[in-house]
Amino acid sequence: MKQDALNRGGAPVGFLSQLGPVEAGAVLYLRLWCSGARFQAQAKNDFAKSLGIKNGNHAFKSFIELFNLYSGQARRPLMHHDVHCKCLGADEACFANFIGYASEGDREDAFLLASTVVRPDLAPSLINLAAEFGMALKRMAHTPTIHAEESITIH
């Protein structure tokens, strides 16, 4: 694969501020997870504080399984921007829209996006995890105790 093709996934295509809460949350937690143990612990804590320990741990586990399948079976390495970056990268936009479609029950569009990243036979499992994660993000967006924005300034 040419280096230019590899870098396309990180190409800025917009700004986080242009996304809805579910999609922005998906990008935020993708970035946190990819940024090391300290940020991973913060993400887990956000879920527990917003959803309660039991539901938060369940949602976080779904996210980890989703991430591992999404990135582990991807056709090429996935690119992401820094946690504090205001830009939205191409791979991040795809991930955000995939989570958004899945959380809305739009399985056909979710399947199309998932199929561009992983083999089509893996897409249904990925969609189920994405729907679960997306629903957790919806609940978190409507919970006044969400703390992700308080600890990390994106904009």
Q: What percent of the chain has pLDDT over 90?
A: 81
3-state secondary structure of 87: strand
Q: Where are the domains of the chain?
A: 33-149
Q: Across residues 45-63, what is the average pLDDT?
A: 95
**Residues in contact with 43: Cβ distance below 8 Å, sequence separation at least 6, in sequence order:** 29, 32, 33, 60, 63, 148
Q: What is the pTM of this model?
A: 0.86
Distances (CA, A) of 118 to 30, 74, 114: 17, 5, 6
If residue 98 lies in a helix (H) or strand (E), which one and from where to where? helix 90-103
pLDDT band of 153, cuts 50, 70, 90 = very low
Q: Across residues 58-65, what is the average pLDDT?
A: 95
Closest CA relative to residue 55, chosen from 152, 140, 127 = 140
Residue of higher predicted confidence among 23 and 4? 23
Q: Across residues 101-120, what is the average pLDDT?
A: 95
Say if residue 100's pLDDT is above 80: yes
